Amino acid sequence: MAARPTRPITRDEIKAFHRDGAVLLRGVLAPEWVTLVADGLEECFVERSNKSSEAVISGGTVRVDHMLSDRSVSISRFATESPVGGLVGAVLGGPVRFYMDQMFFRRPGPMAQTAFHQDASYHNVEPKDLVRAWVSPDVVPRSASLEVIRGSHRWNVTFRPSVGRDPDDEAHALKVAIARKRGMFENEGEEFSYSNILMDKSLPPTPDIYRHRDSFDIMGWDYNPGDLILFHGSLLHGTAKDVMLEQDRRAYAALYAGPRTTYLRQKGQKVPDPPALAAYEPRTGQKLDDFGEVFPLVWSPGDWD
């Protein structure tokens, strides 16, 4: 069962999440949880997995890794025992299962930006009750913090992934080579690569937020350790360009699923499902409750009564 936060979530914060698609919860995580996630991120950075990849953009590098809780006791404890699952449940008003987690690890220097995207584009789940929990053990100023497009979770559209390859584009290899010469490339993992994600061309392209920033309502926050950012799985989010980091920017990003979340087999290669799910041969439309051993229940209404 998820531990209690340092303070209750407020009605205004819950309303903000549903209205804007994201909310910053100030000071809800006690120092021991911040230390736990910091230890786990450092452990996973040192011991790179076969699903880890590094993107080099704008002179900076970001290490991305998946399913950290499968190999780090510290991260597993944080994912299933910290107050995060219960805070997600309080926002959704129902039981919550842990779906999967990721790491975005940047060292000081030029910051490799994360292109604006939706989590719904990359994972095999229906996003109605899908919530991303974003945590860092570092102070992250507004300029380097997560940015979100306010209200975009209510646009009722899923965009194609912002990175990957067009299966009909015979010049993909040439474009990758040109990008590498310009200093943009990926050091691919043995079992996963963002550059090899296959585009579902039936989906509309993601809007060019960088070119038209003034046309969008962009939210962001100064972040301090102990804070928690929650945002909807369909919300467009990313980071700003041309940012210089003065210290580490380590981010732990976990996905939690509410009771309406179902499995959705998407076209093309995406972020891989948890390996244990394959044995169940999941079908589109199945509730995640059918796979309880893969997606553990972390909080139910009444747990904090």
Residue-wise pLDDT tens for the chain (305 aa)?
789 999 999 999 999 999 999 999 999 999 999 999 999 999 999 988 888 888 887 788 899 999 999 999 999 999 999 999 999 999 999 999 999 999 999 999 999 989 999 999 899 999 999 999 999 999 999 999 999 999 999 999 999 887 777 766 665 666 666 556 565 556 676 677 777 777 788 889 999 999 999 999 999 999 999 999 999 999 999 999 999 999 999 999 999 999 999 999 987 667 889 989 999 999 999 999 999 999 999 999 989 86
In a domain, 224, yes or no: yes
pLDDT of residue 161: 83
User: How many structural domains compose the chain?
Assistant: 1
In a domain, 301, yes or no: no
In a domain, 285, yes or no: no
**Six-digit token string for 33:** 């949880």
Contact (Cβ atoms closer than 8 angstroms) between residue 137 and residue 228: no
In a domain, 55, yes or no: yes
Nearest residue to 125 (alpha-carbon basis) of 104, 86, 98: 98
**Six-digit token string for 121:** 């584009």
Distances (CA, A) of 225 to 72, 151, 181, 222, 250: 20, 26, 37, 10, 11
In a domain, 150, yes or no: yes
Q: Is the dihedral of CA 209, 145, 105, 128 positive or negative?
A: negative
In a domain, 288, yes or no: no
**CATH code of the domain containing 252:** 2.60.120.620
Query: What is the residue range of 25's domain?
Result: 11-276
In a domain, 281, yes or no: no
In a domain, 56, yes or no: yes
E-strand ranges in the chain read: 22-25, 53-57, 60-66, 96-106, 109-110, 130-135, 147-149, 185-187, 218-220, 228-232, 237-238, 244-245, 249-257, 297-299
